[in-house]
Amino acid sequence: MRQSSLVVVANRLPLDDSAARDGACEWRRSPGGLSGALHAILQQTPATWVGWDGEIGLSSRLPAIGSVRLRPVALTADEQAGYYEGFANSTLWPLYHDAVQQPVFQREWWETYRSVNQRFAEAAAEVAGKHAAVWVQDYHLQLVPRMLRELRPDLLIGFFMHVPFPPPELFMQLPRRVELLRGMLGADLVGFQREQAAHNLAQLAQKLLGADATDDAITIDGRTVRTGAFPVSIDVGEMRALATRPDVVAQVAQLRHDLGKSKRVLVSVDRLDYTKGIEHRLTAYRELLRDGDLKVGDTVLVQVAVPSRERVESYRGLRDRIEGEVGRINGEYGRVGEPAIHYLNQPFSRAQLAALYQTADVMVVTPLRDGMNLVAKEYVAAREDGTGALVLSEFAGAAAELSQAFLVNPHDVDDLKQTLLRALDASPEDLSTRMNAMRQHIAEHDILAWARAYLTELDHTGRLARRFFGRP
Ligand code: ADP
Ligand code: F6P
């Protein structure tokens, strides 16, 4: 395979099953913030993407997608279980999300996580040209930066953590915490969504490694690793263009008609994940119906929950609980032809999502903890006419930027109920002031701005960012 001067290394290639089965050579985004974000910036870029081909097993004959070459990493069933379902999604994921679900530690997962990380590092080393920049993504691949540096000391290595990075008192629980820290500190630049995460890393590097550390630089093994916050974003232009497309405008009219023209529509869009706060949200909605604060005759909730990580135990139970609760709420408060909740457990196209966002009088984004939450930003981008209310969890990274949203503590069901009512009852003037401020922010901080900011910090000169993403 030819070598590239920019290599992205992420757990997944941005393909889904249908794209692979019929061999179609186009981007099909799997739901999830990471591939969505990188998809938006890499389409026109001569780069190589190293990643797991999911479960599609076509490793040897994947085509290039646009200008991006794909370098698949195949995983056996045991590796998927130990690395992806095990250490990444049963140990690190819950721990990094404030342990809202109990993390599971199984010793045998570690060796698989380590050896799969080594395989990703070797694949990246193989496709990276001399002095190339390699951008490693997320908690699945936390050991890769150091492994790659050992294989290829000539490379410029970036690491970006899309999920929260926890405070020392949580991170200290991790078996293998020293290896995990050393792994990510193999990078030249470690980027996070929020500044607090860089502060957490500095404290841990001092405590566990005795390193000299501030919130923006850590000195270890005679090298300085820079750190900082680079809040990820969305392709604002794409969402704005979709929002005004005639077929999407027609879909909005149809949805409005189907949901009931005079009704106030609440919408939530999540991967079916326990960090997203879906259960707390349903409890709040049920109580508002019970107390008569909301009535099915004039309000309706649309909850989209796309299946995710279904082989991980904690996700299976969650799906059953949510579906049970939706059934109970509809059974108790719905009427014939008029459910209290429309529950959709399926993937949507970008156009369908744009239509749904425009149908939402109130978008309810209430994760218990989230690295960023791109759905919140997509909603804002889709509101071309400046209407609509965003109810947003204080525990989503997006809250640091979208401060004009109706911010809420989703752990507090009473606060959740009051905030939903405030958003539903807000005046059009209040809503448009808030929405326009948020729209201006994301217009100035889109996904390209994120990539430019990160790569400019990575190589200090801005040359890398200009070469791959042009002038701002
Ligand atoms: P996470 O990375 O935890 O999944 P984000 O909110 O940051 O959370 O990103 C979710 C991404 O997945 C968004 O770009 C959103 O549009 C997309 N998405 C969510 N639900 C669906 C769905 N049902 N169909 C297609 N895409 C979805
Ligand atoms: O941002 C967190 C993340 O794990 C991303 O890496 C990914 O885009 C998304 O969640 C979806 O998760 P998965 O790849 O496990 O389906």
Residues 6+ apart with CB under 8 A from 202: 213, 214, 215, 218, 227
Domain 236-444 sits in CATH 3.40.50.10800: no
Share of the chain above pLDDT 70, in %: 92
Dump pLDDT digits (tens) for 61-87. 666 667 788 899 999 999 999 999 999
The pLDDT of 33-57, averaged and rounded, is: 75
Dump pLDDT digits (tens) for 222-239. 999 999 999 999 999 999
CA of 231 to the centre of ligand 2 (A): 16
Strands 212-213, 217-220: pairing kind: antiparallel
Residues 6+ apart with CB under 8 A from 261: none
CB-CB neighbours of 301 under 10 Å: 25
* pLDDT above 90 for 50: yes
Query: Which pLDDT score, from 0 to 100, does residue 457 have?
Result: 95
pLDDT band at 55 (very low <50, low <70, confident <90, very high): low
CA of 425 to the centre of ligand 2 (A): 35
337 — alpha (psi -120 to 50), left (phi > 0) or beta?
A: left
Spell out which residues line ligand 1, taking CB within 6 angstroms: 31-33, 36, 269, 271, 304, 306, 347-348, 353, 372-375, 378
Q: Please calculate the CA angle 42-65-311 and round it to the nearest 5 degrees.
A: 90
Strands 189-192, 223-229: pairing kind: parallel
Q: From the CB of 29, is ligand 2 less than 6 Å away?
A: no
Q: From the CB of 138, is ligand 2 less than 6 Å away?
A: yes
* pLDDT above 50 for 25: no
Take atom 2 of ligand 1 and give the residue whose Cα is closest: 33
CA of 272 to the centre of ligand 1 (A): 10
pLDDT band at 275 (very low <50, low <70, confident <90, very high): very high
Of 68-82, 120-134, 173-187, 326-340, the range with the lowest mean pLDDT is 68-82
Atom number, ligand 2, closest to the C-alpha of residue 371: 1
Dump pLDDT digits (tens) for 390-435. 999 999 999 999 999 999 999 999 999 999 999 999 999 999 999 9
- Distance (Å, rounded) from C-alpha 302 to C-alpha 44? 35
Contact 128, 348 (CB under 8 A): no
Do the domains at 4-232+447-466 and 236-444 have one common CATH topology?
Answer: yes
Would you kindly state where each structural domain of the chain is located, as residue ranges? 4-232+447-466, 236-444
Query: Which pLDDT score, from 0 to 100, does residue 61 have?
Result: 60
Residues labelled as active-site residues:
162, 370
Query: Which pLDDT score, from 0 to 100, does residue 341 have?
Result: 98
Q: Is 25 exposed, middle or buried (0-12, 13-18, 19+ CB in 10 A)?
A: exposed
Of 44-53, 342-351, 380-389, 441-450, the range with the lowest mean pLDDT is 44-53
pLDDT band at 465 (very low <50, low <70, confident <90, very high): confident
Q: Please calculate the CA angle 238-244-250 and round it to the nearest 5 degrees.
A: 125
Query: Which pLDDT score, from 0 to 100, does residue 460 have?
Result: 87
CATH of domain 4-232+447-466: 3.40.50.2000
Take atom 9 of ligand 1 and give the residue whose Cα is closest: 33
